[in-house]
A and B are shown apart, each in its own frame.
Chain A
């Protein structure tokens, strides 16, 4: 069974601090690793994504760090803001089947205190 393990389950950060969420995967054939942000009552929205041939990708305050040998990747949110309070999901795209569907982690509920 393909799995993506995510931690922590919840995270509380002060405004201006750094939020770090970690994920680990098992299937070495995964070829695309996105992070999604989900607000209550809304569907997940793509935040940032990385391919395994790159070790880091930065977009604004959001950075993905990718360690292929350890099969781990993480999301760093710099200068965290109260508006960043949401649930974050890491995911990995499958390498087989016609759907090439995403396998999601279990989510991290981030709270940024003002």
Chain B
């Protein structure tokens, strides 16, 4: 597709449920980022992939968060045993160049609400 596609657009989970959020980056893009955007705040970095390698996961808030990109294209962010504080918009971004390039394209995000 022409842009970064994320699904689902909206997800409501009961506290304690596991969720999986999908990101389809722009075809051929090497870099893929996940960010978390709380209501009324700027995005915060979660993790970075270069192709299939997860090179930085320093922003993942707890070991309940796990991300993968097994074939270097589609990525999945998984949150286990969701908590209310996990409620946020999860943004995926991709870039054709490795990290450090100037600018990347964001998807529209998945809005997760934990009830």
A-B contact count (CB 8 A): 62
Given the interface pairs A101-B56, A101-B59, the reply to whether A106 lies near B102 with Cβ below 8 Å is no
| Residues of A with C-beta under 8 A to B42 | 4, 6, 89, 91, 104-107
| Residues of A with C-beta under 8 A to B99 | 98-101
| Residues of B with C-beta under 8 A to A46 | 103, 105
The answer for the CA separation of A93 and B44 in the assembled complex, in Å, is 12
Q: Which of A84-114 contact B (CB under 8 A)?
A: 89, 91, 93, 97-107
Residue among A41, A89, A98 with most chain B CB within 10 A: A98
Interface flag for A43 (CB, 8 Å):
yes
B108 CB to nearest chain A CB (Å): 5
The answer for the CA separation of A66 and B19 in the assembled complex, in Å, is 42
Cβ-closest chain B residue relative to A97? B56
Residue among B43, B45, B105, B109 with most chain A CB within 10 A: B43
| Residues of A with C-beta under 8 A to B91 | 43-44
> B106 contacts A100, CB within 8 Å?
no
Interface flag for A45 (CB, 8 Å):
yes
Cβ-closest chain B residue relative to A44? B106
Q: Which of A21-36 contact B (CB under 8 A)?
A: 32, 34
Beyond the given A41-B108, A43-B108, A44-B106, please list 18 additional residue pairs across the A-B interface where CB-CB is below 8 A. Answer: A34-B102, A44-B91, A45-B106, A46-B103, A49-B103, A89-B43, A91-B42, A98-B50, A98-B99, A99-B33, A99-B45, A99-B56, A99-B99, A100-B100, A101-B56, A104-B42, A104-B44, A106-B41
B residues at A contact (CB < 8 Å)? 4, 33, 40-45, 47-48, 50, 55-56, 58-59, 91, 93, 99-100, 102-103, 105-109
